[in-house]
Every structure is written in structure tokens, then in C-alpha cells.
Amino acid sequence: MHDPSFLTALLKDAEVRCFREFIYELDHESQKHFLRNDIVLKSEAYLRQKRQAHPDLGDFRNFEQFLSRTQEMLLLDQYAILLYRAKVGEYRFYRFHKNEETVDELTPEEFLDYREVVAGYPHEPVEKKLEINFGPFYSLGPVIRDHRKIGAGQRFLNSFMAGKLQGEWNTWQAHLCDFLKIHSINGEQILVDGQIIQNPHQLFEALQKAISYLEMQPADDLIQDAKSFLRGLGLRDGFGDTVGRVLSTLQLLANLQEEPRAENLEAFISAIPMVSRVAVISPHGWFGQENVLGRPDTGGQIVYILDQVKALEKYLSASLTASGLSVQPKIVVVTRLIPENEGTTCDHRLEKIHGTQNCWILRVPFKDANQNIVPHWISRFHVWPYLEQFALDAKHELLTELEGNPDLIVGNYSDGNLVASLLASWLQVIQCNIAHALEKPKYLFSALYWKDLEADYNFSLQFTADLIAMNKADIIISSTSQEIAGTETSMGQYESYRLFSMPGLYKVSNGIHLHHPKFNVVSPGVDESLYFPYMQTERRLENQTREVTGRLFAQAGAHCYGELKDPDKPSIFTMARLDKIKNLTGLMEAFGQSPELQERANLIVVTRSIREEGVVDEEELHQLKRMYELITQYDLYHNIRWVENSSRRDGAEMYRIVGDRGGVFVQPALFEAFGLTVLEGMASGLPVFATQFGGPLEIIQNGKNGFLINPTQPDLISEPILNFLSRAADDASHWQSISEAAIARVKEAYTWELYSDKLLKFAKLYGFWNYSELSEEKKELDQYCNLLFHLLYKKRAGRLLKS
Ligand code: UDP
Ligand code: LCN
């Protein structure tokens, strides 16, 4: 398409000229590939200069908006190539001719080609490239058309299936009737007895008789006495524990036959028991409970899973009891057994999860090519060759522990999701994926420069595993909606798998279908027994407060660094692992460069280790050294404290102690997929300053219950904190109102109870859909994924496996 008016439609005349000037300016930089943050910051600087020269410049809103929607810009001799975000989950690709001032629209493939050329790869004809395209497998299924509803899979499926139950009565009512016959718990048939009830009409008859009978009984009576009558009609256990509950569930089912509505379907599916055994997969390991917080980038995952299983068990126990079944749910977390345990329980086969009745960590070792157990910890970037055998071994162990198939398999992170895919295929069980953090969008240009990064990161394997697992998954739980399809101006984490190329390996033209109802936003919560508001003093332990206060502000020794000259100032508190992406060094630098901020506050940094000998990871080690350099460079020894901690209980008290003293929490990550510490800080009542890149953008409503910061430049971090602390010093109610709003935000939107309710409803609903409609389409998709796994993934992974 040749469209000279494209820019003029979007920009005013003066703005078109500025756009050209801006490109002219960028042309003088050595860089040829710009990403959005760079584009936005540079265009702001350009406009500032321009305004200085021309104070009457006028309104440039369109220009700013246009560039803030430009996600990437490639500069070639004649062209500027733009990746332009048209709306959530949708891109356009434009080629701007520098001299002619005209614009063409490019195909996505053409854009990928230009990107490879700018990155220095020789042009490879499209015919020679391996293309991966999942598009055709989704052509028949339902699609969420409205981009605002992406990630609301459960709501969509409810309406979709209620419509089917109404519109295709015969077929879908038969599906529903048959679906209710296939469930059993501990080998015992529940819900509908297929020997007695063969079709929807017979089911309706039975329901009418049962309802009439139960209506005459006292609602509070246990269902026990009515059981034999119901069984005679073909209605077995699982509809409720009391007469009132059974009556209400049977009425819901009868309503579903008479007037199928989405609310009825949701309420009915929620009431019936379909899940009692769950397998949670997190292979990477270093998974424990005491002083084991994972290794780089799996800390939050472990915290999430431990809280998740506790909440799921509680929810399942209550709902199984309410449905009249005396069954104890069982949840098994499958992870890696690591013989070199460094004093932890990581070499124990089985470990009960604290605070639960029947949840376990089951550890299965990795094996090498000779089937020998691998003894040492392995970074998450190098686990790939071990996963198939791990899945096979885990399958046997899991079946023994659960005495049968799980009802649901939940994968975590790329490795866990791949293993969950294999297990779900082998056992024919519903698979749920949780990404936690997709590495692809986290590491800039990780696909484009995969070859340079391969030795350290093995992204070719990780991204292939991601593609397989996310397409095979029945349901995908995301923590925020931007994780799926991004925002008006930024790309979603799953979205980044839709179109990309790994030069010399393959090109993905359609890697993930964001509009599929498999996506559902189910945000995690915080453990309310650990993270509660600082002012709830009656719940706090005096001796813990004293001990942790000493550790944070005064104690000397090998586990702390820095000597505060004025410990009574408010604290700027941060806590994270020392990964580069967490950008603790960025915060230290911002603090170092701002004498005003040092005047107002102390900086308190908490990490797992502050000594080189405690660190196994190269990246972490580098960050650790950089922290010491910065402290020296900016002479911060008397303004900072850097403290070790690996206890969650003490970590929780730290937030509260900072709250006591009018401090704030800062999460300065360059990118954060979700950010549990943001929730923890807010739940404790701290005003939180968190990165605008990733999940916090959705957790925090900027200025209302916290603040979003751009962590890419020191002054962009320090200024908003300084402004807030200055205002709070003059007006204590400002601090107070943000603190209260933060607590309220977590309470209303981020609880594990809400999480369990949403996840289990969705899994059950999906189970019904899967049973009724999906099988053929899914089988084809599974076959395609199998091919990718066996022909692409295993071949590459095999090379890494030393015998
Ligand atoms: N954490 C901790 N001590 C540390 C660093 C982190 O207890 O030194 C905990 C923190 O409280 C949170 C989790 O580890 O519960 C980190 O989760 P988050 O989602 O913030 O980041 P991730 O580490 O998963 O990237
Ligand atoms: C991994 C991350 O990087 C965090 O952003 C998440 O909060 C954590 O996992 C839990 O999902």
C-alpha cells in the first residue's frame, strides 16, 4: 500500500516536519534499532529542545502519542521502519521513505526480514526459512473478538456454552448428561448414574422427582437419609451435603435444561466436585520451605506455589465437604531432587507442606544420558535436556503418590509448563499453565540475537518449549491482563510470542492465539497471615520487631553493611534477588546521585546474601560487586544499610517496621512480570513505587494507591520518591491516604481465596468444554506440538546432554 497521507492523517503538518527532524536526529546515532522507551525518552528530549528554541510551538499531542505507540524503529539508509501499535494486541508495520515522505504498510514477514537485516544477518529468502504457524489450528474454535475482553476466558466460555445448551439443545444437553456420568472419586461413581439415566430427558424426569421429594424435607437435614431415594432415581453423591444444598444444585441443573443461562452454568459447575487431586509442576528445583527461596528468578515462583497450594487445599476441602463427599484433597508439587543439598531438604524425596493437611513436595532427580542422577543444582537456562526423562520418572512417582491420575496438572514457568504438557498428554488430564516470567520479553532482542546468547541462555530451547506448552495448554492463568496482550502502548508477554524470528533457526508467523478463551486472568494474592498492615500491632511479636529493627538499622557484622548517621529518617526500602533485571543497582545509583534524597531518607536494601561467598550465579555476583562499587563511588556508607535475609517471616516484619517510620517501598526492576513484593509492600501499608514495565502497571493505580516509575534513568527513579517524601513531610495525611488505599487495593483484588475460586471454576468449566467439543481440533494441535517437540526441541536439547 502506498499511502502518502498516512502521516498527515495522524499528525498535523508541523508535527510531520518534526517527525522527519526527529528521524534525522536519530540517524546521527550509531544505534539503528530503537525500542519504545528509547524512542519516547529521546522524543521528549527532542521536543524540550525544540520548545526552548520555539516557545510558541503549540500542541504536539498527536506527535507524542504517535511515538509512544511506536514500539520499534529500524533505521536504514532510505527508510525508517516502524512497528506501530494500533491497539491492544494489534500491530501495523510501516515503512517511511525518508526522502519522499511517503509511507507503505508492510506485511509482518517483511518487517521480520528488515529486523534481521538491521541486526546484521544476511538476507535469507523466505522460501528457505522454517515457518511455525499455529494459526490454522485455531480457525474453527470460538474467538473473543473484543480486545478489552482478552483474558476473560471463563466469562466468555460460560456464555458460549450456555448458548450452546440452549441453541443446540439435543447435542449439548446430551454432552452435559454424559459429562455428569464420567466422574468418580476414589473409584466410586458420583453425580449421575449412567446405568439408570441414559439421556437428558431421563435426567430431567429424575430431577423433577428428586426436587419434589426434597422440597418436603427440612433444608438443614443432612442428605444421608434421602440418599437411597436419590440413588434409585440415578442421582448419586456429589450434589451437596444437606437437603437444602442438594435441592439448590439439582434446581440449577434443571434450570440448565429449561433455560440455560451463563449464571446458572457457572453456579452449577462451581457446585459440583470434579477436582480433588492436583499435580503442580516446578522442575527447576531448589524448592523448599525453610530458607530456600529458589535460585535466580525462581524465588517468587516458590512463594507463589507454597501460598497457592495452601489456598487451593482449603478451598477444595470446603467445596468437597459442601458437595457431600468425605474426601480429603491431595496436592503434590513435583520438583527436582538435588543430592548436593547445601544443608536444605532439597534431597528429600517427600516433604509435607507446612500449614496443610495433605499437600506434599515430591522430588524426582534429573538423570543424564547414562541414567545417572545429576547431583548438582542446574540453572534454569540449562535444564532443558533433562526434562523428558524427568517427566517420565515424575509420571510414575506421581501416579504412586496420588494412587491414580490427577484431575488437574498445573505447570509453572517454561520448564514446568513443558513437563506439564507431556504429562497431560500421556495421562489425558487438563493442563493449566502459569508463566510467572516469560524470558522472551524480559531479555531485549533475545530471539533476534539468540545465537550470541545461546551458550549462556539456550533461548532456542526455551522459546520452542514455550510455544509447545502454551499451545498445548488447555488453560493459561495469567497474573495480569497486560501479561497476555499488553496495553495500548506496550506489548504483552504472551503477545511477544506471536510474531518473531530466530535467524537461522525458524520464523514464527503465528505463535499464540491471544483471543482464545484458554486465557484467564487470575491474580495471585499475599499470605495474609504473614503480610498484614504495620499498624496492626496486636498481631506483631515484640521480640521479632526488636530483633529485626536491630538488624535493619544498627547491627554490625558480616550480614549487614553500612552505618546510618541518622537512623530516624524515613526509609526507602527495597527487597529482591540480585538479578540484573531487578535493578537494585539502579536504585542505589539513583540514591547516590541525589543528595536531596539522601538528606530526606536512608536507603535500606535487603537481599539473600551480601557476601561473594554466598552467591553461585555469575549475574548475581556481578550485581553484588557493582553495589559495593556504587556505595563507594557515591560515598553512601553512612546513608545506607544493606542487610541479608532469607526468612519470609522476618521479611514480612521488615515492611511493617519501615511503615512504622513513615518509609516507602521501591521496586525498581527494568521489567517485572508480576511483582509479589509490590503486593507485600502494599498489604503492609507502605506507599510503593514500582516499575511501570510489567505487572505493577496493573496492580498500582498511579497516584491513588502507589506510584509507577520509569527505572531506566536515575533521576526518573529519585524524583518521584523525593517529591512524595517532601510532600509527606509537610502533610502527613498524604502518606496516610496512599497507605490506606494500598491496603484496600490488595484486599479487594489480590487474595488467594479469590484466586482459588477463579482457578477451580475455570478448570471445571474448561473440563466440560473439552469433553463436549474440543477433542478433534485439539488432537491435531497436539500432533503438531509433538512434531516440534520430537524433531526440533529434542534434537537441540540432546546436544547438551553429556553422557
Ligand atoms: N524475597 C525474600 N527475600 C529476598 C528476596 C525476595 O523473602 O531477599 C521474597 C519476596 O518477599 C517475594 C519473593 O521472594 O515473596 C519474590 O517475588 P517477586 O514476585 O517479587 O519476584 P521474583 O523473585 O519472583 O522475580
Ligand atoms: C516470577 C516473577 O518474575 C515475578 O514477577 C512474579 O511475581 C513471580 O514469578 C510469581 O509469579
The residue count for the chain: 803
**Per-residue pLDDT, 296:** 62
Q: Where does 277-525+761-802 sit in CATH, by number?
A: 3.40.50.2000
Return the domain boundaries, the chain: 6-123, 154-271, 277-525+761-802, 537-750
Looking at the predicted structure, is the pLDDT value of residue 779 above 90? no
Spatial contact of 440 and 461, defined as CB atoms under 8 Å apart: no
The answer to whether domain 277-525+761-802 and domain 537-750 are alike in fold is yes
Q: Where does 537-750 sit in CATH, by number?
A: 3.40.50.2000
Torsion angle (degrees, nearest 10) of CA 73, 76, 80, 85: -30
Strands (E), 88-217: 90-97, 103-106, 131-133, 184-185, 188-189
State pLDDT tens for residues 467-510.
999 999 999 999 999 999 999 988 999 999 999 999 999 999 99
Give CA–CA dist 155/151, Å, rounded. Answer: 9
Spatial contact of 603 and 595, defined as CB atoms under 8 Å apart: no
State pLDDT tens for residues 1-23.
445 556 666 777 777 788 888 99
**Per-residue pLDDT, 127:** 87
Give CA–CA dist 88/377, Å, rounded. Answer: 40
Spatial contact of 248 and 240, defined as CB atoms under 8 Å apart: yes
Q: Where does 154-271 sit in CATH, by number?
A: 1.20.120.1230
**pLDDT (average), residues 717-725:** 98
Q: Which of 297, 531, 674, 746 best tests ligand 2's pocket when mutated (most atoms within 8 Å of CB)?
A: 674
Looking at the predicted structure, is the pLDDT value of residue 94 above 60? yes
CATH class of 6-123: alpha beta
Looking at the predicted structure, is the pLDDT value of residue 576 above 50? yes
Ligand in nearest proximity to the CA of 527: 1
First-to-last CA distance in the chain?
Answer: 55
Ligand in nearest proximity to the CA of 577: 1
| Amino acid occupying residue 571 | S
Instruction: Output helix, strand, coil percentages for the chain, rounded to the nearest 5.
Output: 50, 15, 35
State pLDDT tens for residues 370-381.
999 999 999 999
**Per-residue pLDDT, 63:** 86
**Per-residue pLDDT, 123:** 85
Q: Whose CA is nearest to atom 22 of ligand 1?
A: 300
**Per-residue pLDDT, 292:** 59
State pLDDT tens for residues 153-180.
999 999 999 999 999 999 999 999 999 9
State pLDDT tens for residues 536-558.
999 999 999 999 999 999 988 98
The pocket around ligand 1, CB under 6 angstroms, is made up of 293, 297, 299-301, 303, 575-577, 606-608, 645, 648, 651, 674-677, 680
Q: Which of 10, 31, 25, 19 is nearest to 74 (CA)?
A: 31
**Per-residue pLDDT, 1:** 45
**pLDDT (average), residues 430-452:** 93
Torsion angle (degrees, nearest 10) of CA 62, 64, 68, 69: 20
State pLDDT tens for residues 99-143.
877 888 999 999 999 999 999 998 888 888 999 999 999 887 788
Atom of ligand 2 nearest to the CA of 694: 5
CA of 437 to the centre of ligand 2 (A): 6
**Per-residue pLDDT, 803:** 46
Ligand in nearest proximity to the CA of 294: 1
Tell me which residue has cell 496436592. 331
CA of 673 to the centre of ligand 2 (A): 6
Q: What cell was used for 646? A: 532469607
CA of 665 to the centre of ligand 1 (A): 13
Give CA–CA dist 356/314, Å, rounded. Answer: 8
Strands (E), 289-383: 330-337, 350-352, 359-365
CA of 777 to the centre of ligand 2 (A): 32
Looking at the predicted structure, is the pLDDT value of residue 201 above 70? yes
Atom of ligand 2 nearest to the CA of 434: 11
- Here the ipTM equals 0.99
* CA distances, 324 to each of 221, 308, 764 (Å): 12, 24, 18
The pocket around ligand 2, CB under 6 angstroms, is made up of 300-301, 304, 436-437, 479, 672-676, 695
Give Cβ neighbours of residue 549 (< 8 Å, ≥ 6 apart): 657
Q: Which is more confident, 802 or 680?
A: 680
Helices (H), 428-541: 439-442, 450-457, 459-472, 482-485
State pLDDT tens for residues 626-664.
999 999 999 999 999 999 998 899 999 999 999 999 999
How far from the centroid of its chain's Cα atoms is residue 345's Cα? Answer: 27
State pLDDT tens for residues 214-250.
999 999 999 999 999 999 999 999 999 999 999 999 9
Give CA–CA dist 130/28, Å, rounded. Answer: 36
Helices (H), 69-107: none
**With pLDDT > 90 as the criterion, what percentage of the chain qualifies?**
81
Q: What cell was used for 14? A: 508541523
